[in-house]
Structure 1
Amino acid sequence: MGKLTRILSTAALSAAIASVSLTAAADGTTNWRMATPWSGGPWLERDAQSFATHVRELSNGSINIEVFPGGTLGSALKVTDSVKSGVAQVSHNYINYDYGKDQTTALLAGHSSGLTPEEFMLWMYKGGGAELYEQYRLDKFGVVAFPCSILGTEIFLHSNKPVRTLEDFKGLRLRTSGAWAEIASRLGASTVVLAGSEIYSALERGVIDAAEWGSPEMNRPTGFQDVAKYVVLPGIHQSGGVLECQINKKVWDGLNPQQQTVLRDAAKLSVFDSWLSSSYADLKAYEELKNGKNEIVRLDPSFIKAVYEETTKWEDEYAGKNEWFKRVLDSQRTFKKDMQSWPEYRLQIGVSEL
């Protein structure tokens, strides 16, 4: 009887969710639910909410988005499924969580390619990246999606061992994920995939030697610096990237062109907002690391070269067997060639002396 009650309760909950899906309130406002993978922190409380705020303001209050933390509207790592099924009308998500289904996601999320946050924005909005992003998501996953937040350059490692050279890296028990797990393994590391909530204890107990997670702003609250002596830079494994907003295809098709433009513009504004906020927050967070008890270690240029060479081999292999991967990769490589003259006339950010 208890089992039947649970089934009926679940059915009632599902019906309740469906009843508010895509419905307009008495005042004409359309209410949407936003699924996210984030349990808290800047990506939930700042970036996802920023998109919701921009949508409300640009739509003159006609579209209201309620942001839900990870796990509330389905699995935190299967947000795409929640949006595609209609459990959520919209999401704030990381495309690389779908890496197991198609490796092209790594190129769009950011990987060890050398694209900085600023280059990602230029490629997305002037180099055709945003159009490719939207076409790819719709073709391969059946959802409408576009860039919604920019990701800063990550810390390469919080580590209990100093890592400078390729020889130091070989045999390192490393927590990572996605494309970098493949490339790092090819370079000799022993990679382990762990949830973010498990990294601190794994470092503290010596289950792993090192871990990568995010930029200084994202890593500071984790406390990794308290259980790992070395902070290894620069983050060549993730020099930049983006988060996305997804829209259910049926919901998208029900919008008029002006409303669709509102959503794209809100996402673009959110990218700019996130770049400003995260870039500035990273400055303070890094200064705290630098002035704290940790030792800052910088990678040897020969190791950085080895990473980029192995990344190119990895890219070429997938491009040879995945049409979408090749299409996105060709676009990024063309863009990087176009950017080669940039240092010839632009001063480096943060350099006070010539």
Structure 2
Amino acid sequence: MKRRALLNSLALGAASTAGLVACSQATTSNETGSNSTASTADLPTIEWEMATSWPVALDTIFGGAQVLVDRLAALTGGRFKITPRAAGELAPPLEILDVVSQGAIPCGHTASYYYLGKSPALAFGTTVPFGLTPQQQNAWLYEGGGLKQLQELYASKFNVIQFPAGNTGTQMGGWFRKEIASVTDLQGLKMRIPGLGGQVMSKLGVTVQSLPGGEIFQALQTGAIDAAEWVGPYDDEKLGLNEVAQYYYYPGWWEPGATLELQINLDEWNNLPPEYQAAVQTAAYEANVTMLSRYETRNNEALQRLVSNGVELRAYSDEILSAAEEATFALYDEFAAKDPDFQAVYTGWREFRDRVYAWNSLNEGNFTRFSYSKLNQ
């Protein structure tokens, strides 16, 4: 019943997008022939709080939640207001799905791969190792059937509906206190890395920890961990990770295009007017595009600052990348064999990945390689 209600509400929400705009802008003629603006006065006033997984100081990633709620308020004439709260204010940063699912908090902004213990298929909602770039991820979610499939999974298992609401871009490969040249160098290394990337690293001999962003600096500083990944140059600089680790690796093969989510308790969602549902979807879409645009703009500038201040860039060796890729697809096969939900998502995702890789490599990839080669002549 929840799945059917979800699909019905999505259809109503999509159909009412134009109606919401019209409601705030349309004019009608009164008896004297003058025009008067239609009002949203018949729509309810709603105020929610949003739990997030992010420190406020990380203005781009927390900013994704802020962009969303600001646009939502604008689209509803201020009648639907959501206040985002920093990690830990309303719920522990890695327990957002739990409190939203329970209905303790109506909504949250988080990353789905924090909750793999509940269902490994949730990883696809954020990103998976050797997966999709940001644009490829958006294509899969919005046009490749990925979002619909994940929403059905969330509805049936967690009483939650989710929407893409941010993307960090292709991430960096993490901070290390010593150089890592081979798989042997990874043995026994203590590293903060979440999601399936963490499970792949574990297969390569790494001792994996999952820590909130606000705890990474201290863990590196005290030696509780030897390495950590967070996002990319802009956010990593804000956390001060360059002050406690010297070597900065690339590429972030485990997070080639990390999507963040707006998660809403499904009962709360179904109680919203269709106009508000449409506004939520529009606001989440804008947050998704805005966050990626900001990271793409800010990361290179931050990287240049880091390098000028002594950070040493290092590329992962082909040996490590090949071992990681092999371990990744072995892990996918293991999950697919024992988890029907993972198998269902993975099958379609893998087919989409292979098609979009071929297309991008032929067209965009060749264009980028040519243009960059000219830049460096």
Report the TM-score when normalising by structure 2. 0.81
Name the residue aligned to 1:46: 63
Distance 1:63 1:279, change over 3 A: same
Report the CA distance between 1:51 and its aligned residue.
Answer: 0.6
Alignment-mate amino acid for residue 107 of structure 2: V
Q: Whole-Å Cα distance in 1 between the matches of residues 190 and 102 of structure 2?
A: 38
Secondary structure of residue in 2 paired with 1:203 = helix
Alignment-mate amino acid for residue 328 of structure 1: V
Name the residue aligned to 2:359: 341
Q: Whole-Å Cα distance in 2 between the matches of residues 79 and 206 of structure 1?
A: 28
- Among 179, 182, 187, the alignment partner of 2:199 is 182
Q: Whole-Å Cα distance in 2 between the matches of residues 189 and 306 of structure 1?
A: 13
- Any conservation in 2 of the 1:155–1:214 contact (CA below 8 Å)? yes
Q: Whole-Å Cα distance in 1 between the matches of residues 190 and 285 of structure 2?
A: 38
Report the CA distance between 1:48 and its aligned residue.
Answer: 0.4
Secondary structure of residue in 1 paired with 2:338 = coil
Q: Whole-Å Cα distance in 2 between the matches of residues 221 and 171 of structure 1?
A: 28
Q: Whole-Å Cα distance in 1 between the matches of residues 137 and 170 of structure 2?
A: 11
Q: Whole-Å Cα distance in 2 between the matches of residues 147 and 332 of structure 1?
A: 16
Q: Whole-Å Cα distance in 2 between the matches of residues 238 and 283 of structure 1?
A: 17
Q: Whole-Å Cα distance in 2 between the matches of residues 131 and 235 of structure 1?
A: 27
Report the CA distance between 1:318 and its aligned residue.
Answer: 0.4
Name the residue aligned to 1:212: 229
Report the CA distance between 1:316 and its aligned residue.
Answer: 0.7
Name the residue aligned to 2:46: 30
How many percent identity over aligned positions?
29
**Runs of 4+ in structure 1 over 6 Å off:** none
Alignment-mate amino acid for residue 372 of structure 2: V
Report the CA distance between 1:43 and its aligned residue.
Answer: 5.0
- Any conservation in 1 of the 2:94–2:212 contact (CA below 8 Å)? no
Report the CA distance between 1:108 and its aligned residue.
Answer: 1.8
- Any conservation in 2 of the 1:110–1:241 contact (CA below 8 Å)? yes
Name the residue aligned to 2:372: 351
Deviation digits for residues 169-206 of structure 1 (CA, Å, limit 9, x no counterpart): 23322222332222111112232344434432332333
Q: Whole-Å Cα distance in 1 between the matches of residues 301 and 255 of structure 2?
A: 20
Name the residue aligned to 1:107: 124
Name the residue aligned to 1:331: 348
Report the TM-score when normalising by structure 1. 0.86
- Among 326, 330, 334, the alignment partner of 1:317 is 334
Distance 1:68 1:200, change over 3 A: closer
Name the residue aligned to 1:6: none
Report the CA distance between 1:263 and its aligned residue.
Answer: 1.4
Name the residue aligned to 1:65: 82
Distance 1:92 1:192, change over 3 A: closer
Name the residue aligned to 1:14: none
Q: Does structure 1 residue 135 correspond to structure 2 residue 167?
A: no
Name the residue aligned to 1:268: 285
Alignment-mate amino acid for residue 374 of structure 2: E
Distance 1:198 1:73, change over 3 A: closer
Name the residue aligned to 2:250: 233
Report the CA distance between 1:145 and its aligned residue.
Answer: 0.9
Secondary structure of residue in 2 paired with 1:164 = coil
Secondary structure of residue in 1 paired with 2:368 = coil
Q: Whole-Å Cα distance in 2 between the matches of residues 27 and 122 of structure 1?
A: 33
Alignment-mate amino acid for residue 267 of structure 2: K
- Among 307, 318, 327, the alignment partner of 1:301 is 318
RMSD of aligned residue pairs (Cα, Å): 2.3
Report the CA distance between 1:94 and its aligned residue.
Answer: 1.5
- Among 247, 256, 265, the alignment partner of 2:273 is 256
- Any conservation in 1 of the 2:53–2:212 contact (CA below 8 Å)? no
Q: Whole-Å Cα distance in 1 between the matches of residues 283 and 218 of structure 2?
A: 38
Secondary structure of residue in 2 paired with 1:174 = strand
Distance 1:198 1:37, change over 3 A: closer
Name the residue aligned to 1:20: none
- Any conservation in 2 of the 1:133–1:146 contact (CA below 8 Å)? no
Q: Whole-Å Cα distance in 1 between the matches of residues 192 and 334 of structure 2?
A: 24
Q: Whole-Å Cα distance in 1 between the matches of residues 207 and 102 of structure 2?
A: 37
- Any conservation in 2 of the 1:162–1:232 contact (CA below 8 Å)? no
Report the CA distance between 1:61 and its aligned residue.
Answer: 2.8
